[in-house]
Amino acid sequence: MKTVLIVKQEDAKAAENANRILQVLTELSVVVLPTDALSCADFITVVGGDGTIVHAAKQAAEYNIPVLGINSGRVGFLAGLEPEETHLLANILRGDYHVDERMLLSVTFTVKGETVTRYALNEAVITRNGPARMIDIQLKDGLGGGRMDYRADGLIVATPTGSTAYSLSAGGPVLDPFVNGIIVTPLSPFSLQSRSVVFSPAHPLHIQAKCPSGGRIIVCLDGEEPIDVTGQEITVQKASDRVVRLIRIKKDTFFDIYKHKIMERSV
């Protein structure tokens, strides 16, 4: 089998763990390819935290390649293994594992007159680039025709995978990743009645935001570099052309992982 090993950059702990993992892969006769040979791999091995796993998983989704995350961060909610469990890598060669499919969001907007689509595994955040002041946000349901208006610091549009990330910290609900839905959670809304809403993934959501006091509107996908979308409509919907495939070797359920890594954590 062939894999590509992706390691969190400039992280001593991740580099140390990666060296041990590389040794295990070599002992198992797994060929480790360079990072520019992603399309030739049977699976991707990622050593890092959830952010590293998210970014690598989106790259792998372009080629429909499954990803195994090995935790080297603080939480590692998306990781399939902990560093001390690398002996379980042999299960992949035996076919003793499962592949969970996770939905992606496609986020479409215009950059310099060109329509662009980007993808998010956790969330798309629409907010203001500058001082923390409220913005006016209009959300339209592209299928049912309904409309919702928010006055808030921003809007989080999250997948079930992202329900345990930024949306959760903003008061959003936790969704089992196998429950299809798109979560819309306002950031610090002006109205106490503004709560998270879960939409069907069949519904494209059209979003426009304005700064009453001036300023730029940005969209940030999975914590990546913000993109200026001032004056534009953003369309967010379930991606129809790709999914993220995560390798699960252990028998832990979503509830087990959520309880251990979220509910029982002190920090």
CA atoms in the 13 A half-sphere facing the CB of 186: 21
Identify the pLDDT of residue 111: 81
Residue 18 has pLDDT above 90, yes or no: yes
pLDDT on residue 263: 79
C-alpha closest to that of 199 among 245, 149, 160, 249: 160
Could you tell me the two tokens for 82? 């902990």
Asked whether residue 132 carries a pLDDT value surpassing 70, the answer given is yes
Check 42, 50, 252, 256 and give the catalytic one. 50
105-238 has the same fold as 2-103+243-263: no
Q: What CATH superfamily is the domain 105-238?
A: Probable inorganic polyphosphate/atp-NAD kinase; domain 2 (2.60.200.30)
Q: What is the C-alpha to C-alpha distance for residues 170 and 196, in angstroms, rounded to an integer?
A: 9
Using a cut of 0.85, tell me whether the model's pTM lies above it: yes
- Which tens digit of pLDDT belongs to each residue from 50-81? 999 999 999 999 999 999 999 998 888 999 99
Residue 265: band (very low, low, confident or very high) from pLDDT cuts 50, 70, 90: low
* Mean pLDDT of all residues belonging to the chain: 93
For residue 237, count other CB atoms closer than 10 A to its CB. 20
Q: What is the pLDDT of residues 193-246, one digit of tens each?
A: 789 999 999 889 999 999 987 889 999 999 999 999 999 999 999 999 999 999
pLDDT above 90 coverage of the chain, percent = 81
Superfamily of chain region 2-103+243-263: Probable inorganic polyphosphate/atp-NAD kinase; domain 1 (3.40.50.10330)
pLDDT tens figures, 31-40 = 999 999 999 9
pLDDT at 266 over 70: no
pLDDT in tens, 92-130: 999 999 999 999 999 999 888 899 999 999 999 999 997
* 50 a catalytic residue: yes
Give yes or no for a contact between 1 and 97, defined as CB atoms under 8 angstroms apart: no
Beta bridge partners, 13, equal: none
HSE value, Cβ hemisphere, 13 Å, CA-based, for 146: 5
Q: What is the pLDDT of residue 45?
A: 98
Residue 143 has pLDDT above 90, yes or no: no
Sketch the domain layout of the chain as residue ranges: 2-103+243-263, 105-238
